[in-house]
Chain A
């Protein structure tokens, strides 16, 4: 009964009800925006597959013409013709809560096409207004990381000081043996109501979409865990500040300062620090260098063909005989070049990739400097939108590209004609679904540590603030 009475009191004394309603509405809006974004990305992935299918229209037409005994410009039974016609693509994985945090996915396409011409560069981006990108998305990540702390602060900053300022603290100490327990209980109740408001839209969406699978429920549990930890940290911090026994104005000022420092200044300064410590070369310069060196590489194509095919386990006698055959040597050399060229481009951007990796590692340490960044990292991990997910996608695109190309090259070397039915299998090989990565622990550990530290801090300050001392300050 105490809890219900406290909740009623809390609803009457603070703006808990409108705050919870606003939070639920914002959460629902973020979910709606996220689902719309997801739908657009799924459409892009489908269009990419459809584009591949369209690219293969010449295959059916070519086989039909061959069956009619007609001469065709591009013979589909020749595997060499398939090499440059179908571009291998890796489609991003689709975790159940992908729509909850856009992260770095906003800047990259959902399907990574690997082509021998541009594999060292970033794939073309989806058209998106740069000014909206600069503004940032209103997603659940933004809501939980940056807005939710304000809900906790506004709710909890005057739980104790409000009692003192309204002259009820003496009454509270007179009736309750442990007044701080009452205050903490109110704070916990308020945080629980806010957590429920933030989570309900996500849970309902998972149910409504029929995606309440084991993975989705685990994702939801993890997501709710982040929400609870964020609320625990900020509520406990507000209680600790409140226990200093100063006015509500002072509490709000200190908490606003803490928000600016922990939710904005530290993450932003970390990003700047990472860029300053690990600068990267301009991508245009890398592309230029690769372009100018491709000419030299092309001059050594015969030598490259031998090295490349040997490294992939081809029979050297078979390669030598193919290279000796003037009608096939050009194709074989071109294939080897198309396999080796992306590697060369990769070696040009290797330093950039390494610096990027170092930047991300440095940034990952920021989870221990900012609870907001820890929450952000955990949410990105749940949604599969962290930088490491993108790197995995890039690496997989490269591997799939080699796998696809090698499969075709073997057919070319063996002079093995392609059948019409084989193109479907080749198409499936060319559009791979990226693998999902297991979650990382560090954001969770950091966020948990932040919440525990804040709770211990609150307990410490509360224990130190004797009621009569607070009464004197009233």
Chain B
């Protein structure tokens, strides 16, 4: 019975011109977005690899220089988009692609791709994730609402219920037809992701991502089925489906964003910079010989080496003072950026709280986390860049202190020294770390799916012609 119902439903969908056109349109968008993003991702990876190599050569080839000048010359570290960014670019276009590494200053991310885009970016980025998050639910909702609501309007419900062994089997057949629709939507995602994934970790993430999207679309299929069963006629079921889609996929996510930014306001750039500056002012100023804290450090170092004048020190005091300044500034940066990042995390968590009202608010963080394109991934990179900066400048200050003779000029080190500076290694987040903060969202997705289908089951008894 059930396979016959499934076959009948699929045949009926195939014969309906509007359904076929809609499916073709969505699948075309999905294929197009996969092709566009896979190409863009491949270009970005190649571009980052080239820039990384060029930066290394630039660093190694800077010639003789003073370590502190080299610190000001600095370098850039790049964020290579993870493989599954081809499926879900997440926040990547909004966080920038590189961080400048320089003495004295911890820079934020720079050069957000979205900043160079035009007005049409307000409509979103054409990515496979967006197609599945926004368009696929509409298709699944309308399909399920028509599938379950159409029988009553056509007058075939009585006949079906009479001929079927039980309404449950009939509904099971129709549900399987909806499930096959979901399968048709997530298969291109899984195939595209499989081609992009380059490690077992990424493939496992892709598996979870496919499950998350299946749950998400399953929830909408259940809601559509429930609307079809509960509505008096097909037209009302469809109306309900459209209203539900507009509310959960368009309205609530943006309202959630507004609410989160109101509830956890971020400081302005000027406030943030003033706070960082105030923190800096509490420590040593490496470039000001009159600074009191510098004098204090000077006395301490002189006492440590048992000499009375700087010129008698076996090390270069300039390097020591610069490192002391860096260490103080690193603490300030950690504190100030930490506060900023915890506010960002609070905003994220507020938006996730809206998962109870919209499954999209539950899916988005999961999808971005699994793709490695969420805010925590960007912050991990920022932390790694900050740690690298401390190591990078620390090495140069150490050179300044131990390999530069204060009494001799020019205060240069040889070109071979630069190869001793380690290259930046971007952090790699294992799957468990990506999933851990998003357990609630995954549970919410499962709850949405289960609740929708439980509602369908509870409605079955009242399903009468």
Contact = CB atoms under 8 A, between A and B. Distances in A.
Contacts of A291: 73
B120 A122 contact: no
Interface stretch (B181-189, B344-352, B420-428): B344-352
Given A252-B239, A271-B126, A284-B98, A124 B108 contact: yes
A142 B254 contact: yes
Interface in A149-168: 150, 153-154, 158, 162, 165
Q: Which of B239, B268, B272 has the most CB of A within 10 A?
A: B268
B115 A122 contact: yes
A287 B146 CA distance: 56
Interface string B51-80: 100110010000000000000010010100
A253 interface: yes
Interface in A95-138: 103-104, 107-109, 121-122, 124-138
A51 B274 contact: yes
Given A272-B36, A282-B111, A288-B58, A130 B95 contact: yes
B257 A127 contact: no
- Which of A50, A125, A274 gathers most chain B CB within 10 Å? A125
B368 interface: yes
Interface stretch (A1-9, A40-48, A195-203): A40-48
Contacts of A400: none
Given A125-B112, A137-B254, A249-B146, A158 B269 contact: no
Given A132-B351, A256-B138, A122 B378 contact: no
Given A132-B260, A268-B125, A285 B51 contact: yes
Interface size class of A (residues with CB under 8 A): 35 or more
A417 interface: no
Contact of B122 (A126, A141, A261, A280): A141
A136 B254 contact: yes
A138 B29 contact: no
B126 A272 contact: yes
Given A131-B351, A252-B242, A257-B25, A271 B250 contact: no
Given A130-B94, A136-B254, A284-B98, A257 B21 contact: yes
Interface string B1-42: 000000000000000001001100100010010001000000
B459 to A, nearest CB: 20
Contacts of B55: 288
Nearest to A282: B47
A122 B113 CA distance: 11
A408 B47 CA distance: 42
Interface residues of B, number: 86
B119 A377 contact: yes
A249 B238 contact: yes
B370 to A, nearest CB: 15
Given A129-B375, A274-B118, A359-B118, A265 B146 contact: no
B111 A267 contact: no
A127 B267 contact: yes
B28 to A, nearest CB: 10
B91 A134 contact: yes
A122 B114 CA distance: 12
Given A129-B375, A136-B257, A282-B51, A271 B239 contact: no
Contacts of A135: 253-254, 256-257, 351, 364
Nearest to B95: A130
Interface in B238-279: 238-239, 242-243, 246, 250-251, 253-258, 260-262, 265-274
B378 A130 contact: yes
Contacts of A47: 268, 270-271
A252 B238 CA distance: 8
Interface string B81-124: 00000000011011101101000000010111011111111111
Given A137-B254, A284-B51, A131 B120 contact: no
Contacts of A43: 268
A181 interface: no
A268 B131 CA distance: 11
Nearest to A162: B235
B250 A146 contact: yes
Contacts of B235: 158, 162, 165, 247-249, 252
B116 A126 contact: no
B126 A268 contact: yes
B374 interface: yes
Interface in A344-377: 352, 356, 359-360, 363, 366, 372-373, 376-377
Contacts of B98: 284
A136 B124 contact: yes
A158 B125 CA distance: 33
A390 to B, nearest CB: 9
A294 B246 CA distance: 53
Nearest to B270: A47
B131 to A, nearest CB: 9
Given A124-B108, A124-B269, A257-B21, A280 B120 contact: no
B266 A129 contact: yes
A138 B257 contact: yes
Contacts of B108: 124
Contact of A121 (B36, B97, B110, B242): B110
Chain B CB within 10 Å, residue with most, of A107, A124, A249, A380: A249
Contacts of B100: 287
A158 B238 CA distance: 12
Among B78, B265, B271, find the residue whose CB has the most chain A CB atoms closer than 10 A.
B271
Contacts of A137: 254, 257-258
Contact of B270 (A48, A128, A154, A287): A48
B377 to A, nearest CB: 11
Nearest to A253: B18
A363 B118 contact: yes
Interface of A: 26, 29, 33, 36, 40, 43-44, 47-48, 50-51, 73, 103-104, 107-109, 121-122, 124-138, 141-142, 146-147, 150, 153-154, 158, 162, 165, 247-250, 252-254, 256-257, 260-261, 263-265, 267-272, 274-276, 280, 282-285, 287-288, 291-292, 352, 356, 359-360, 363, 366, 372-373, 376-377, 380, 386-387
21 contacts: A33-B258, A40-B268, A126-B268, A127-B268, A129-B344, A137-B257, A138-B258, A147-B251, A253-B238, A256-B138, A260-B138, A264-B124, A269-B32, A271-B121, A282-B47, A283-B116, A284-B110, A352-B116, A356-B116, A359-B118, A373-B119
The 7 A-B pairs with the shortest beta carbon distances in the complex, nearest first, are A47-B270, A130-B91, A283-B111, A130-B94, A138-B254, A271-B120, A267-B123
Given A131-B351, A154-B243, A257-B18, 5 more contacts: A107-B94, A107-B112, A137-B257, A287-B111, A376-B119
Interface of B: 18, 21-22, 25, 29, 32, 36, 47, 51, 54-55, 58, 73, 76, 78, 90-91, 93-95, 97-98, 100, 108, 110-112, 114-126, 130, 134-135, 138, 142, 146, 234-235, 238-239, 242-243, 246, 250-251, 253-258, 260-262, 265-274, 290, 340, 344, 347-348, 351, 364-365, 368, 374-375, 378
